[in-house]
Structure 1
């Protein structure tokens, strides 16, 4: 224990924040860290989902706590950071996974509200939470950040204008973090999921230009991943085995990015 922070020893026992952990990739990631013996803060907008994951971890003998709220709000971000340090002993790993889809809208069809909400949740929220926890990591000279980007962060043909811009932003944020803080013991990487079997629904406007223009590109998408496959990549990037991997965006997409 250093300054209230449990130092990672590579065998579990870390304090891990996972956002969007009430379902899908986030849930699978929270369970995977807990299975290693890590203490997990389950952050999600959906209180019922977050509490269900906490109970699932506790039934398996693990330690978890839930914080619910909109992570694009500074007050919620502050509560997440404070809870992790006060109840879990620090912040060793931050997984910025929470996100929302857009309507696959082409730029001319994107409303102000769609743009602002998608950017706020997908890009500003990870920025706010990373800024909040970095001082805790810097204080002990060690920490790992893993962001969930997207295939849409690698190409222009996997989503609408707002989502694509937000995920390209996450890629840039990840690489900037890696360069800025590598000399202070911080690593930052991202996964870029392809199609994954989650409950996220896309509200597509019938006959809109965006979905029609994007659809032909999905023929090369490959098979749908399971959330656990994305979680495995996140856990690896957060592990000591990935100790010299920094600033990487790892596609987990059945080769879609290689097509």
Structure 2
């Protein structure tokens, strides 16, 4: 198995892409730690992984609160002595909104969850990976960063910042044997996408279909496995041709 006995934290792992990634990593025999807020959903993923013979646990975590992120990392290190994989996946979308109508609260919420939460996570896990001399950090970006859509202004900005952060940290952590990459989904079949957005966006995808969470899970598996051991600082677009 590609991830046997590796300790993998997945933020936002209780639903959507995060859940698909968690379940895929579980099948590859990783020990999966789901860091998210919805208790019932998180425990549901844990049970799903365990039913298939995997190992998993749920640790309630608000990634926008530094003390909770620090507690998450400290708890995992105490229990498992290491962290091999850290997937910064927690994020939120936004409804199509004219730039002049974006409120301060909406702006701050998107930037806090999509950027600050990832920053806190990387900052907390990096020292432990440095000490180990290895590790993989993966961020979930978006094709909105390279091919923005009208009205998704702040979301696009947040994902652009996240991808730039990942690339910068990849350079910084490479001497310590740590790889940092991001994957950028096109519109994906999750609860974050409403039907109106889905039908509109699918017309702009050359392959003529939206992505599935499993598409992202398979890509994430590749990027955190030894099969991509020479890949760092890359943003891999999983987009059906959208960004060509």
- What's the TM-score once normalised by structure 1's chain length? 0.87
Q: Give the gaps of 5 or more residues in structure 1.
A: 1-8, 205-210
- CA deviation after TM superposition for structure 1 residue 82, in Å: 1.6
Kept in 1, the 8 Å contact 2:24–2:217? The answer is yes
Please name the residue that 1:14 is paired with. Answer: 6
Task: Give runs of ≥4 in structure 1 deviating > 6 Å.
Answer: none
Please name the residue that 2:221 is paired with. Answer: 235
Matches within 5 A, 1:98-177: 98-157=90-149, 160-177=152-169
Residues 180-232 of structure 1: per-residue CA shift (max 9 Å, x gap)? 1111101111111001111114699xxxxxx9xxx977631231111011010
Please name the residue that 2:239 is paired with. Answer: 253
Kept in 2, the 8 Å contact 1:101–1:202? The answer is no
Which of 154-163 and 227-236 deviates more? 154-163
Please name the residue that 1:36 is paired with. Answer: 28
Please name the residue that 1:6 is paired with. Answer: none
Kept in 2, the 8 Å contact 1:92–1:137? The answer is yes
- CA deviation after TM superposition for structure 1 residue 89, in Å: 3.0
Kept in 2, the 8 Å contact 1:153–1:170? The answer is no
Instruction: Say whether residues 1:46 and 2:38 are aligned partners.
Output: yes
Match of 2:203 among 213, 219, 223: 219
For the aligned residue pairs, the C-alpha RMSD in angstroms reads 2.0
- CA deviation after TM superposition for structure 1 residue 103, in Å: 2.3
- Structure 2 CA distance for partners of 1:202 and 1:228, relative to 1, 3 Å: same
Give distance in 1, aligned partners of 2:220 and 2:40: 24
Give distance in 2, aligned partners of 1:202 and 1:123: 23
Aligned positions, number: 241
- What's the TM-score once normalised by structure 2's chain length? 0.93
Give distance in 1, aligned partners of 2:241 and 2:3: 31
Match of 2:79 among 83, 87, 90: 87
Residues 146-183 of structure 1: per-residue CA shift (max 9 Å, x gap)? 10000111122265121011000011011101111111
Q: Give the gaps of 5 or more residues in structure 2.
A: none
